[in-house]
Structure 1
Amino acid sequence: MKNNQKRISLDEIQLARAFAILAVLVVHSTSSGVTSIPTDSFLFPLYNFLNIAGKLGTPTFIMLSSFVLFYNYYPRVANWIIMKKFYIKRLKFILVPYILFSVIYFSVKWYMYYDYPSLAFALNKFLTLLALGKAHPHLYFVFISVQLYVLFPLLLIMFKKSSFLRKNAIWIGILLQWIWVILNKNYFHITLKGSISLSYISFYFVGAYLGIYYFEIREKIKAQSYKEKVLLPLFIGYGAIVILYTGFMYLVRINVYPNVAEQLPQIVSRYLYEFTWATNALFAGLVLFYLAHIANKRFGNRTKIVFMEIGATSFGIYLIHPLFLMLFRGILSAGSPFLYHSWQVLTFILVGMISWLVVRFIFRYIPHYWVIFGKLPEQQKLPLKNKR
């Protein structure tokens, strides 16, 4: 039934966001390990696995963003008033924090690492990085999200008008993304492809499909036949691709892959990275989406509250955690192997906890907090102890 009533929020989405931000923290916490410890270290394969297998967080956030948009807006009658409010809210709560943190990261790195010849040069450099989502590597996600919001009204109209597009959104999205990959590889040669929404169009379309058919899919999941025909192959496929992806990147990092590539068909070696990354991220996002629904049923009350809180503050944690990561790595960058590896684990824990504390403090005590970290979900604004 189509109306202008907003749908109820889903706890499963906050749980999925919590899982995704934890994966982001794992990737960023292990990034120094895979670049600094010797490749013949017995712990290097573990660092490589965690660093590569964890690269599901940002694509999952993109898929969840698309899901939320279509879940909320597809059943409603789209008109100029609704779209105007949509643009104001989304760009206000996303674009403003993006610009603010771009300034912060650019300024910090300017102070720590760079010596620009003049203020005019630095300003021009900043504006270029801002326009590309590159003031700091992780900000590309926000830049991609802004592109999704710009495209969303057009996508919404297309999905409303075409039942073929709605029903076949998954394979159409994958096809469009691969058309872009092939064209860019052979003709466009755009090196900053990670800042272009076409590199994530499959996640947009999969999120749209899930958002439109969410309640139908949730009913189908209960059937044993659906679990055997859809969910079991999904988990098997994810297991296979994560082994392939982590193994491929391990060979790249130990500098063995060039020899292996010579034995592979050219089309395989040419597109193996894009295939493993995109397929792993897509499978992982779907698996994580399903696991969030399982967790919603099986988590105890206290555990669920913790993960719901992490999910609710995930955008703020995503924005600020690299600052603390830079700080911790400056404190201890070397030492005995035991000290170094222990510090990596401690860094993951402390960066996550401190980032959450800062985000929650600002949400709680700073007026107009949305300028810094965007909008906190309504149901998460009260102190946790009052949400029994």
Structure 2
Amino acid sequence: MQLKRPFLSEVQWARALAIFAVLFVHSSSTGMGMTVPFSLPYTGYSILNIAGKIGTSTFIFLSSFILFYTYYYRDLTPKLFTSFYKNRLLYILVPYIVFSVFYFALRYDINQFDLTWPEIIDKFTGELLTGNAYTHLYFVYVSVQFYLMFPIFLYLFKRFEFLRKWALPLGILIQWAWVLANTHFFQVPEKGSISLSYFMFYFMGAFLGIYYEQFVTWLKDLRRSRFVLVGVVALYLVMTAGYYYVMVMARTGSAYFSSFTYELTWSLMALTAGFLIFVLAHALGHFNLPRFKATLVEIGAVSFGIYLIHPYLLYWMREWLPGGSPFVFHGWQVFTFFAIFLGSWLIVRLVYDFVPASWVIFGKGNKVWGWRGRAKKAK
């Protein structure tokens, strides 16, 4: 069976919200690290930093959703999988390699590593193969792992009904089996670069992608969905408060908790947040806000590029941090957020519109301002 499902603006709206969460985390770290613990500014920065730690997991959930939404109702053929790997791995893997080289070179220039060329190649290769060329690239590395596994999961979900109907509980089970096994046996220090650490998000995306039409029908029937939605909101608030508490206590050295506590509070906060962002994006469709929605679509469309380039702009904003009064310091933190957002967006947009083979740098993107885009509209 071949079923072409319609384009969903809601996904781009959700991506836009997710990239803002990522920017909140990264832009608030300097303010949080340079203010007095438990002061009002510290609390404000901590709330933004901790509540925003749902961006990457939401992107994973949305990526999984799009994969299953797009491919589940299509016939499994060699041509389908050839197209899949071309459109996914090529436009993700190549930019990942490009930015791994870029950020490795940046770190090499900053830290002045005293290494020979063979040592440089060996160090870079190790970081490339583990997603550690820069702090944020682990997300792309994890995404590539999911893309490699996707055809297997697609076949299994199409073949076995119980797998797709119980996708979320199975994802939670797999993820927590890995968490416990890593805690007690493997002890991989960088487990965030391992795809098993995100299976609940991946399988939630699979479930919603397969049963999307049924989900939308359920969501619109508030008599059926309101109790679940209220429960999810309550769970999100409780887990966010819990995660905030354990993180602030740990960062200030006031108290420490088991790794199980950190993992539980973060994962449930992030899972419920991803779901609520998805619901919020659908709720937005009921409002007559065409310009706002178009802006969110644009931000969502360039979100991958923003994710890749924004740490570079953030590095320079921190280098240029002015001295002076607290007003200047805090004002600079606010300015930094808008600067890295607008600067990243402008760079990605200009590259998409005017740089040939822009997919090598930022992956597949749409043209808006470029002459090709205007020519296409004129036809």
Pairwise same-fold verdict (TM > 0.5): yes
Query: 2:275: which partner in 1?
Result: 286
**Structure 1 stretches (4+) deviating beyond 6 angstroms?**
378-381
Taking the aligned partners of 1:312 and 1:36, their CA distance within structure 2 comes to 34
Shift in Å, 1:225: 2.2
Taking the aligned partners of 1:253 and 1:364, their CA distance within structure 2 comes to 43
Query: 1:96: which partner in 2?
Result: 94
Shift in Å, 1:380: 10
SS of structure 2 residue aligned to 1:132: coil
**Structure 2 unmatched runs, 5+:** none
Greater relative contact order (CA < 8 Å, ≥ 6 in sequence)? 1
Shift in Å, 1:191: 0.6
* Range 132-141 or range 289-298, more displaced: 289-298
AA aligned to 1:238 is Y
AA aligned to 2:5 is R
Shift in Å, 1:7: 2.0
Q: Map Cα deviations across residues 145-171 of structure 1 (whole Å, 9 max, x no partner).
A: 100100000000110111111111111
Shift in Å, 1:40: 4.1
Query: 1:176: which partner in 2?
Result: 174
Inter-CA distance 207–379: structure 2 relative to 1 (3 Å threshold):
farther
Pick from 224, 245, 248 the counterpart of residue 247 of structure 1: 245
Shift in Å, 1:373: 0.5
Structure 1 residues 52-131: aligned runs within 5 Å:
52-131=50-129
Query: 1:335: which partner in 2?
Result: 324
Q: Map Cα deviations across residues 205-229 of structure 1 (whole Å, 9 max, x no partner).
A: 0000000000001001111222323
Q: Map Cα deviations across residues 287-338 of structure 1 (whole Å, 9 max, x no partner).
A: 0010011123225111111111101100000000100000111111643211
Query: 2:39: which partner in 1?
Result: 41
Query: 1:311: which partner in 2?
Result: 300
- 1:6 paired with 2:4, answer yes
SS of structure 2 residue aligned to 1:367: coil
Taking the aligned partners of 1:91 and 1:313, their CA distance within structure 2 comes to 17
Query: 1:257: which partner in 2?
Result: 255
* Range 369-378 or range 44-53, more displaced: 369-378
Taking the aligned partners of 1:201 and 1:380, their CA distance within structure 2 comes to 38
Query: 2:158: which partner in 1?
Result: 160
Inter-CA distance 380–219: structure 2 relative to 1 (3 Å threshold):
farther
Aligned length: 374
Shift in Å, 1:341: 0.8
Taking the aligned partners of 2:136 and 2:67, their CA distance within structure 1 comes to 22
- 1:51 paired with 2:64, answer no
Taking the aligned partners of 1:116 and 1:161, their CA distance within structure 2 comes to 54
SS of structure 1 residue aligned to 2:286: helix
Pick from 121, 130, 133 the counterpart of residue 135 of structure 1: 133
TM-score (norm 2): 0.95
**Structure 1 unmatched runs, 5+:** 262-268
Query: 1:224: which partner in 2?
Result: 222
Query: 2:266: which partner in 1?
Result: 277
- Whether the 8 Å contact between 1:147 and 1:197 is mirrored in structure 2 is yes
